[in-house]
Structure 1
Amino acid sequence: MSLRPILRWPDPRLSETCAPVTGDIRELSGDMLETMYAARGRGLAAPQIGVLRRLFVMDVGWKEGTPTPLICVNPEIVDRSERQIRGPEGCLSIPGVTAQVMRAEWIVLRWTDAGGTGHQAQLDGFAAICAQHELDHLDGIVTFDRLEPAIRAELEADYAG
């Protein structure tokens, strides 16, 4: 496994819609987990390292001492709560910026793991927020795109890039 450089906004690859994953991604997903942990993140999508494929990794418990890594290949939300919650989000591709973003309170996520096994689970709380954030990356959406224009302009002006 090896660390991969993380792209920073406004790199145009972060605005691209990703293609489905085909083939073996075990090495890539291992590199992504290693890169995410080294960057002290809780999620990392393939386009953030320049790979325009529908793949993300996340681990919402590792900072509290309970590693729970997920490798999500070709993930999709199959259900979501109608109730929206607003909460703080950061992004490894926009370091130093935290924004209040509206998200579904819970989601049902369907994905395949690195070995090809299919999964489906309801994610609540921070896990739901993290998965929605990473899925946004697969659709070429970054945190700034989820903000009201005035708030976006203020945060972009403060962003050191």
Structure 2
Amino acid sequence: MSGATRTVDLVDAIRIARELDLPRGIVWEALVDADLVSGWLHPVHRLVTGTSPVEFREPDDPAAPAVLEVISPSFGDVRIALIRLDGGTRGESTRLELSVSDEWGRRSEREALWALRLEQLHALLRGHPVDWGSWPRRHRAADAEARAEAALRPAR
């Protein structure tokens, strides 16, 4: 990603990690490809919106993480590190480490919503995108509220 890199405030960040049994290049596509993102994050909003093209480049050191950092008007400051792991059914798996800003309180609800989003990402990667028409109302309300709060946050 070009331009200045901003890092999620580590003091207030929500942190969640998941291991995915897929190579990190595939996981990366699910983070940035509009069609794939609509299958796990939200049918309208994207992590990467209105930014320069974002592309995956394998780090020079295979042990170094691939990182996506965005400041999203819908989701706040988001940092996702993808760490390559040996093994898995395709010879490589990925550890996804998410850090997302949490400046508005109600941390447990926001953390639960991000955990749900990562479960949806995992399901998408197994071929099961979210059926947004049947997504439970309680998730819709929590998601809309979290995005509305992020949109009102002052620019840094």
Q: Structure 1-normalised TM-score?
A: 0.25
Q: Structure 2-normalised TM-score?
A: 0.26
Structure with greater proportional strand content: 1
